[in-house]
Amino acid sequence: MFLHTKGLFALGVLLSFAYTAVALTTLTDEELRNIPHVPNEDFDINTGGLLAPILIPRVSGTEGAFKVQQHFVEFFRTQLPEWEIIFQNSTSTTPVTGNTQVPFTNLIFRRDPPDTQAGDVGRLTLVAHYDSKYSPTGFIGATDSAAPCAILMHVARSIEQALKAKWAAMQESGDDMLENPEGVQILLLDGEEAFKSWTATDSLYGARSLAEQWETDFHPAMSNYRTPLDSISLFVLLDLLGSANPFIPSYFLTTNWAYTNMGNLEKRMRDLDLLESKPPKQFMPETGLQSKHFGRGYIEDDHVPFMKRGVEILHLIPSPFPQVWHKMDDDGEHLDLPTVRDWARIVTAFTVEWLDIGTHLPKRAAQAAKRSVTTEASDSKRTEL
């Protein structure tokens, strides 16, 4: 990440004339209570099914990166088989590898409504990078960005049942699935980190490649959207999340409405005692900012190649950065797990509201019963052993 302080305000004002906020149906308190539980065991730093396999060095092109790719793919293939899995590959030289080409693999996990064509579906796009820094040797990057990747895996699993229920109800009632269909995709990007020092060419390897490809990968004529870039209804980037008491600014005027929606969801969930952490102030306090408050700059991150091509961005990155940023202490032991689990709940709620699936969430009582059965089965297995 690199702080960029010039040119943002003019860009934001220009885009704001052409962009209007999406009308969202606000979740009720009961629907917020029905947001799926975040199992503690999924985020255990040693044994957690989502997080633990990512807490290894995973420099682009190395065995660690390949193991983490396998973890993501296995999760979606086994737990979310109806999600489409797409690999986008590229290679590049780096300042530390000379003429040797380093492979970069972006993973796209996509869930579109049934019986729709790719060029007709707008997609909420949730994003994190999974690579870790080349140096210092052995660097983990728990906030940067193992925890955000695990959070997005949880979000995908949490919305699946409600998505199926919504689409099944639409088909049964004869509602037009093809009228402004909205899907969701998760981008787990490779090569965000610089190998030597942050420059335009030594950073964002995967994001630059994917944005360039999607800009020129045209959908069939008469599609709703010209390219996969045009299909992105909002690009939500998670980075450096997992330390206690984060302050997330609203970076962009054109998406302050989306920031405000997420910030309001966080506040309501805290008021309903649905979150674990007890920060001195909420994570996202800058709701409803006026235009005069923008223009202070932005942080260079995986969103930049997409933003430069006109994609709307919601950047969830703390300012200041966590104290462990780019230090060996950015490991599992230094994560604040209540904060991590709260981010999973908040981003899930935002996604549920965006996709208008709140009324299709399993009821809280049913979720509790399911967790009880799972726990009893687990306890039984331990007893047998």
Residue 31 vs residue 288, higher pLDDT:
31
182 is an active site residue: no
What pLDDT sits at residue 175? 77
Dump strand ranges (E) for 79-238: 84-92, 102-111, 122-129, 182-189, 232-238
Picking from 295, 244, 271, 351, the residue whose alpha carbon sits closest to that of residue 11 is 295
- Does residue 382 fall inside a structural domain? no
Q: What is d(CA 353, CA 250) in angstroms, rounded to the nearest whole number?
A: 19
pLDDT band at 3 (very low <50, low <70, confident <90, very high): low
Cis peptide before 320 (omega within 30 of 0): yes
3-state secondary structure (DSSP) of residue 341: helix
What pLDDT sits at residue 178? 65
- Does residue 186 fall inside a structural domain? yes
- According to DSSP, the β-strands at 122-129 and 232-238 are parallel
Q: What is d(CA 60, CA 210) in angstroms, rounded to the nearest whole number?
A: 15
The backbone torsions φ and ψ at residue 233, rounded to the nearest 5 degrees and listed phi first, read: -80, -30
State the sign of the Cα–Cα–Cα–Cα dihedral 268, 269, 271, 276. negative
> Which residue type does 26 have?
T
What pLDDT sits at residue 343? 99
State the catalytic residue, choosing from 239, 266, 301, 342: 239
- Does residue 20 fall inside a structural domain? no
Q: Does the pLDDT of residue 292 top 80, yes or no?
A: no
Q: Does the pLDDT of residue 112 top 80, yes or no?
A: yes
Identify the domain containing residue 134 by its residue range: 38-360
DSSP per-residue letters across 42-90: GG-TTT-TTTGGG-S---TTSHHHHHHHHHHHHHHHHH-TTSEEEEEEE
State the catalytic residue, choosing from 42, 120, 192, 266: 192
- Does residue 91 fall inside a structural domain? yes
3-state secondary structure (DSSP) of residue 299: strand
- Does residue 203 fall inside a structural domain? yes
Residue 143 vs residue 375, higher pLDDT:
143
Q: What is the number of structural domains in the chain? A: 1
What pLDDT sits at residue 296? 63
Q: Does the pLDDT of residue 116 top 80, yes or no?
A: yes
Contact yes or no for 259/21 (Cβ under 8 A): no
31 is an active site residue: no
Average pLDDT over residues 112-118: 94
CATH of the domain at 57: 3.40.630.10
- Does residue 15 fall inside a structural domain? no
pLDDT band at 290 (very low <50, low <70, confident <90, very high): confident
pLDDT band at 179 (very low <50, low <70, confident <90, very high): confident
- Does residue 27 fall inside a structural domain? no
What pLDDT sits at residue 293? 79
pLDDT band at 190 (very low <50, low <70, confident <90, very high): very high
List the Cα angle 156/159/162 in 5-degree steps. Answer: 150
Q: What is d(CA 266, CA 45) in angstroms, rounded to the nearest whole number?
A: 25
- Does residue 372 fall inside a structural domain? no
Supply the pTM of this predicted model.
0.92
User: Per DSSP, what are the bridge partners of residue 182?
Assistant: 122
Residue bearing tokens 């402004």: 180
Average pLDDT over residues 313-341: 98
Average pLDDT over residues 112-124: 96
Q: Give residues with Cβ within 8 angstroms of 271, minimum separation 6.
A: none
What pLDDT sits at residue 380? 40
By CB atoms closer than 10 A (0-12, 13-18, 19+), residue 359 is middle
